[in-house]
Amino acid sequence: MGAPMSSAAGAIGRSIRSLHRALRDGELSSTTLCEEVIANHGRVGDGLQAYKTWAPERIGLAARAADAAFAAGADLGAFQGLPVSVKDLYGVPGYPTFAGTPKALPEKWQRPGPVVKSLGASLAVITGKTHSVEFAFGGVGTNPHWPTPINPWGAGEHHVPGGSSAGAGVSLVSGTAVLALGSDTAGSVRCPASITGTVGVKTTYGRWSRDGIVPLSPSLDTAGILARTAQDAAIGFAAIDPLIAASPLEFASLAADCAADEFSIAIADWFFDDCAGDIADAVKAAIDELGRAGARVGAIELPEAPRAHDIFLHGGLAAPEFAAFITGEMADWRKTLDPNVASRFARMEAVSAVEYLHRARDLAELARAAHARLDDADLIVCPTVSISPPTVAAVAEADAYRQANLAILRNAAPVNLLGLCAVTIPVALDGAGLPVGLQIIAPGGEDERAIAAAAAFERVLGTARERLGVPPRCPD
């Protein structure tokens, strides 16, 4: 594998596998690694505004604890001593949870769930809480209450980072984390990963516990990760996943052994409709490369995708479930909601119980039909995000924001609504010099297949650093 996507100098730019080995061989200490993390936060202008809560003293304490465990001969897991950022929806002891709101949520939301506990048990170093769109309700990445993370690929302008895990991808590219925890309800891991040139894993609904994560839509929310490479993502996935029996490094090695010619990939035209021409061309060029490497490329009809998208355009399940949460437990936070959300609140509340149940029934039927179509193909591949990331200024007006939000989430949301899983990998820069992601979609429950395909495709196409280069905002 080539060098991972990180422009930061020093050890932090190495792959997770390399860092894992260096920490255990005594070539590197977690303290030294995390000193680089802290230095990088300053090097790129406050970490490119990735973090809501940044606590360097806590980073140092956690790194020293990991080093002490190594010195005592204790190896507690693949992420011992490695820096991991956490989206500010997850409970982390000692860190307030804002969920993108202007004031901290009740203390109960600091309690960790199984995902955070799995990393904490291995003495991973939490670098901080990354910015989230308010209550995760949006795919653009802006938030009126807090600074919008800076997309490092925007050379002269502040382009959006994607949402709702807005700071997650930025934390990776800025050299302040090697893994980032995010969540995905309609694309909130994959969209920021695609937009920042990183890898994003949207797990199958229910595979990872949602406990300890502030909810948006209990029927659709999934925990997920972002990483710099598919190989790093494979290690991160296996370290957290409750079903993987192999060690994280063994699982990643198995994924690395897969070749592109082991996969049949299908193209559904709908995902290319309304897609910017340069983005569609870039993804098709990547698919052609995979075909030349032996992947079997064909076409698939997937009418369930536009039908699910139409339900999404009318609020899907997320809007009424979010409205119930805000008018109930979070009623004190309603009056300060982002105007882009508050302006739609009346429509969210107006969804009747009958309409909600009809939507849930229709989506269940569509999901069954979509899975049946995938009996004849291993994967569907398509652009992850169909437009170039706009500037923050371009989405300042409400209607422009709404249009950008729908466009960014267009190809991602049907994956959630149809019960599928997916991984996005970076494959190109668009005409504006901003990253383009290739979305790899697999049936629900076939997360391992999607990750193995991502690793195989990365071997053909190259890592982000090899294929895209170094972001202008992050000096090499």
Per residue in 329-375, pLDDT (tens digit) is 999 999 999 999 898 888 899 999 999 999 999 999 999 999 999 99
Nearest CA-CA partner of 52 in 147, 175, 191, 140: 147
Which ranges in 26-113 belong to alpha helices (H)? 30-43, 45-48, 56-71
Backbone angles phi, psi at 16, to 5 degrees: -60, -40
Return the H-helix or E-strand segment holding 150.
Answer: none
C-alpha to C-alpha distance for 49 and 246, rounded to whole angstroms: 36
473 pLDDT tier (thresholds 50, 70, 90)? confident
pLDDT, tens only, 131-182: 999 999 999 999 999 999 999 999 889 999 999 999 999 999 999 999 999 9
C-alpha to C-alpha distance for 309 and 368, rounded to whole angstroms: 16
- pLDDT score, position 343: 86
Note whether 467 and 428 are within 8 A (CB).
yes
For residue 463, pLDDT beyond 80: yes
C-alpha to C-alpha distance for 201 and 178, rounded to whole angstroms: 14
pLDDT, tens only, 170-224: 999 999 999 999 999 999 999 999 999 999 999 999 999 999 999 999 999 999 9
226 Rama sector, left if φ>0, alpha if ψ -120 to 50, beta otherwise: beta
In this prediction, residues 426-455 reach a mean pLDDT of 98
- pLDDT score, position 474: 83
53 pLDDT tier (thresholds 50, 70, 90)? very high
**Domain annotation covers residue 417:** yes
6 pLDDT tier (thresholds 50, 70, 90)? very low
Annotation marks residue 117 as catalytic = no
Annotation marks residue 188 as catalytic = yes
Note whether 426 and 317 are within 8 A (CB).
no
Annotation marks residue 87 as catalytic = yes
For residue 464, pLDDT beyond 80: yes
C-alpha to C-alpha distance for 330 and 101, rounded to whole angstroms: 11
In this prediction, residues 262-283 reach a mean pLDDT of 98
Exactly one of 85, 165, 171, 188 is catalytic; name it. 188
Residues 465, 467, 472, 476, CA torsion sign = positive
Q: Which of 114-123, 336-345, 445-454 has the lowest mean pLDDT?
A: 336-345
**Domain annotation covers residue 436:** yes
**Domain annotation covers residue 292:** yes
Confidence (pTM):
0.96
Note whether 130 and 95 are within 8 A (CB).
no
Exactly one of 15, 29, 85, 87 is catalytic; name it. 87
- pLDDT score, position 155: 84
Give percent of the chain with pLDDT exceeding 90.
Answer: 93
**Domain annotation covers residue 6:** no
**Domain annotation covers residue 476:** no
In this prediction, residues 56-80 reach a mean pLDDT of 98
Show the domain range for 25.
Answer: 11-468
For residue 4, pLDDT beyond 60: no
Q: Which residues pair with 298 in a beta bridge?
A: 266
C-alpha to C-alpha distance for 396 and 201, rounded to whole angstroms: 29
In this prediction, residues 234-245 reach a mean pLDDT of 98
Q: What is the CATH number of the domain that holds 355?
A: 3.90.1300.10
| Residues 6+ positions from 84 with CB-CB distance below 8 Å | 119, 124, 125, 126, 127, 177, 178, 179, 180, 181
E strands of 160-205, at which residues?
179-184, 199-202
**Domain annotation covers residue 286:** yes
Q: C-alpha distances in angstroms, 300 versus 164, 202, 279?
A: 30, 22, 20
CA angle, corner 63, sides to 58 and 65, nearest 5? Answer: 95
Exactly one of 164, 165, 174, 388 is catalytic; name it. 164
Note whether 199 and 179 are within 8 A (CB).
no
**Domain annotation covers residue 1:** no
For 382-395, the three-class secondary structure string (H helix, E strand, C coil) is: EECCCCCCCECHHH
C-alpha to C-alpha distance for 88 and 73, rounded to whole angstroms: 33
Nearest CA-CA partner of 172 in 15, 390, 313, 357: 15
> Could you tell me whether strands 199-202 and 222-227 are parallel, antiparallel, or unpaired per DSSP bridges?
antiparallel
In this prediction, residues 111-121 reach a mean pLDDT of 97
438 pLDDT tier (thresholds 50, 70, 90)? very high
C-alpha to C-alpha distance for 112 and 102, rounded to whole angstroms: 21
| Residues 6+ positions from 170 with CB-CB distance below 8 Å | 47, 48, 49, 50, 130, 149, 150, 151, 152, 161, 192, 196
DSSP string, 363-424: HHHHHHHHHHHGGG-SEEEEES-SSPPPBTGGG-SHHHHHHHHHHHHTTTHHHHHTT-EEEE
| Residues 6+ positions from 459 with CB-CB distance below 8 Å | 1, 256, 259, 260
9 pLDDT tier (thresholds 50, 70, 90)? low
- pLDDT score, position 3: 36
C-alpha to C-alpha distance for 435 and 196, rounded to whole angstroms: 6
For residue 8, pLDDT beyond 70: no
Residue whose pair of structure tokens reads 């901003």 in the numeric block: 434
- pLDDT score, position 2: 34
pLDDT, tens only, 77-111: 999 999 999 999 999 999 999 999 999 999 999 99
Nearest CA-CA partner of 182 in 193, 196, 197: 193
For residue 475, pLDDT beyond 90: no
> Could you tell me whether strands 379-383 and 264-267 are parallel, antiparallel, or unpaired per DSSP bridges?
parallel
DSSP string, 298-343: EE---THHHHHHHHHHTTTTHHHHHHHHHHTTTGGGGGG--HHHHT
- pLDDT score, position 476: 65
Average pLDDT of the chain to the nearest whole number: 95
Q: State how many domains the chain has.
A: 1
Q: How many CB atoms lie within 10 A of CB 314?
A: 11
**Domain annotation covers residue 173:** yes
Note whether 175 and 474 are within 8 A (CB).
yes
For residue 317, pLDDT beyond 60: yes
pLDDT, tens only, 373-411: 999 899 999 999 999 999 999 999 999 999 999 999 999
